[in-house]
Amino acid sequence: MNNGETKNNFPLVRRPSSAIEKAAPGAKRILSGMVADTLALAKPVFTVLMCDDQISEIVELLIKTEWNQKFTLRFIRFSRTTELLKLVREQSFDLLFLYVGNVQWDTFIFDYPQAAEFLAELKAQYGKPIIATQGLDLRKSFEATDVTFIQAPFSVEEFRDALKANFPAQLSKTRPLRIVVVNDEEGPIESIKIILLKWFNKDAVVLTFYDSEKAWEELLRTPPDLLITDDIMPVLGGMEIVRRLADRKAAYPVILTTSFERSELDVCVRDCVNRGLKIKLLDVPFDIESFLKVVEDSLKIQRAKAEPDIQTTPVVADTDLESWYQTGDRYYFGRGVPKDYTEAIKWYRKAADHGHAMAQNSVGVCYERALGISQDYKEAAKWYRKAAEQGDAYAQNNLGACYINGRGVLKDYAEAVKWYRLAADQGNELAKTNLGLLNEKGGLDNAEALESLRNMAVQGYAPAQYRLGIGYRDGQNLLKDLAEAYKWLKLASEHPLHTIGNSIQELALLSSTMTQDDLAEGERRYHEFRIQRK
């Protein structure tokens, strides 16, 4: 039975298979035509006048993936300038894209500057963005005009920049920097990576390579925004890499790190600079400041306003940490002071920044529930994780819940199970209940679990109340009791923070099937419970 790979011949689910999708190709075409026509009516139209077919794909890609607004794209082609003039007069359009050399110039022009003038006039007259391109470098001719010029052949990125110049508001997303680091030693590669990530504060993607040949392949595939490579490496050394880059006229900056002074190297670097490569030498070992200065010079960017704490944080005594955390707690629960979440998070944060696990968990809670700070699930998950990794059971349970609900992290049940398990192993009751809740009958299948579930339900934990309600309704390992089911489902459906499962619908369904007597009894028990809790 168990020989190797599972044959997934008849999975439970096979798609796509709806009756409509199974229809004949003609029928399918009719339907997708209807949908497309209707959508086209619903969305604003973005009209592009162009003379070159090839570019339409790029425009489509950029506008579909990065534009803030949804458009129906419409391309109108022309091949002669007389057609173009007629089009701009009669047609409203959003963008004109023109390959200078591919148009038939019926208009009387002699040279490229005159073509630029012609387009500048169009731009002045109609005020619509114009992008021109040509295999030659015509930047000079277009310099004085409002027409954007890019030299062909261009990359998607270059075209994106040209579009962005014309539609700054619509294409506002900034792309994270891509930095490639090549070094055959683990120490430097890891520290460089950490420094860069901290400095760019996640606005950078850092790719590291131990194997310089693999790195070279990657460089050929996708040019990065910055390359940091070591000099001496097996097989393909840094010097050879920069020579090759100079040969290929690479446009991105390069930092070459080296631990030996070699005249050979200086000659090579000077040669590369002369051939137009933006290259800088950096002596190893280096300190963080000088390293960042070189990176900054290379990228010609300003350092982020918020200085991240690259310097080591001053040492704080554990007793201070604990007292900060306690102060936070006092404000959080209002013990001896007025309840003040803003004040609480301030103190929690102070202790958390220095690694206090319980404080980190509390900061997470504040972020998750928007207490004294605006709600941010990502931040919440981040702080839970910090504490969870230190072994804090509450944080482990909270992180598990983040994974179940997809709050601040991608939904991942395996991760959730992992964190719940860790917390449950430390005896955390909530985590035990949560683990049980993952199972259909879980929490109901033995006396101990049932006890724990009931405890949590009585304490007001909505998922446990919900499960208990369902258990009583279906008689799952419990004596069927509709009034009891009603009570628990009603309690669960009222919880403001956790709108659990479908408790509201389930409650409605349940009450529609109950007798008047049962309903009254359920209502009575519900009120009894509420009074007891007060």
Partner 1 sequence: MNAYKPIIYTSPELEQMRQLVAGARAQLADLETDYTKEKSRVDAVQAALFRHLREHYQKRDRLRLTVEYRQKFLDSLIRGDTEAAKQADQEFEQAKTQSDKDYEELSAAADKRRQLTAEQEAELTRLWKKLVKLYHPDRFTNEPDKLEAYHKLTAAINQAKDIGDIETLREIAEDPQGFMLRQGWAHLDFGDDEELTQLRRLHETLKKEIAVVTESLKQLRESPDYELCQLREQKPGVLDGLAAEQTKQLEAEIVELEKQAAQLASEIKKAETPPPN
Interface ranges with partner 1 (CB under 8 A): 1-2, 6-20, 23-24, 26-27, 30-39, 41-42, 70, 411, 413-414, 416-417, 420-421, 435, 438-440, 442, 445-447, 450, 477-478, 501-502, 505-506, 508-509
Q: Given the complex with partner 1, which of 229 and 434 has the nearer CB atom? A: 434
Cβ 426 to partner 1 shortest distance, Å: 14
- CA diameter of the chain: 97
How crowded is residue 77: how many other Cβ atoms within 10 Å of its Cβ?
Answer: 13
Q: Given the complex with partner 1, which of 459 and 513 has the nearer CB atom? A: 513
Q: In terms of Cα–Cα distance, which of 370, 453, 432 is closest to 407?
A: 370
Q: Given the complex with partner 1, which of 16 and 314 has the nearer CB atom? A: 16
Q: Given the complex with partner 1, which of 323 and 502 has the nearer CB atom? A: 502
* Token duo for residue 273: 């600079």
Whether residue 157 contacts residue 165, with contact meaning beta carbons closer than 8 Å, is answered with: no
Gap between the terminal Cα atoms of the chain: 58
Q: Given the complex with partner 1, which of 84 and 416 has the nearer CB atom? A: 416
Q: Given the complex with partner 1, which of 219 and 431 has the nearer CB atom? A: 431
Cβ 39 to partner 1 shortest distance, Å: 6
Whether residue 464 contacts residue 443, with contact meaning beta carbons closer than 8 Å, is answered with: yes
CA distances from 496 to 407, 472, 506 (A): 17, 23, 17
Cβ 411 to partner 1 shortest distance, Å: 7
Dihedral, CA of residue 480, residue 482, residue 486 and residue 489, to nearest 10: 30
Cβ 529 to partner 1 shortest distance, Å: 23
Cβ 435 to partner 1 shortest distance, Å: 6
Whether residue 448 contacts residue 432, with contact meaning beta carbons closer than 8 Å, is answered with: no
Distance CA 380, CA 347 (A): 16
Q: Are strands 204-209 and 95-99 parallel, antiparallel or unpaired?
A: unpaired
Q: Given the complex with partner 1, which of 151 and 426 has the nearer CB atom? A: 426
Coil, strand or helix: which one is 134? strand
Cβ 460 to partner 1 shortest distance, Å: 23
Cβ 37 to partner 1 shortest distance, Å: 6
Coil, strand or helix: which one is 104? strand
Please report, as a single letter, which amino acid is at residue 236: L
Cβ 40 to partner 1 shortest distance, Å: 9
Sign of the torsion formed by the C-alpha atoms of 418, 423, 427 and 428:
negative
Cβ 24 to partner 1 shortest distance, Å: 6
Helix (H) and strand (E) counts in the chain: 23, 10
Q: Given the complex with partner 1, which of 23 and 284 has the nearer CB atom? A: 23
Q: Given the complex with partner 1, which of 17 and 374 has the nearer CB atom? A: 17
Instruction: For 168-180, give the DSSP string.
Output: TTTT-PPPPEEEE
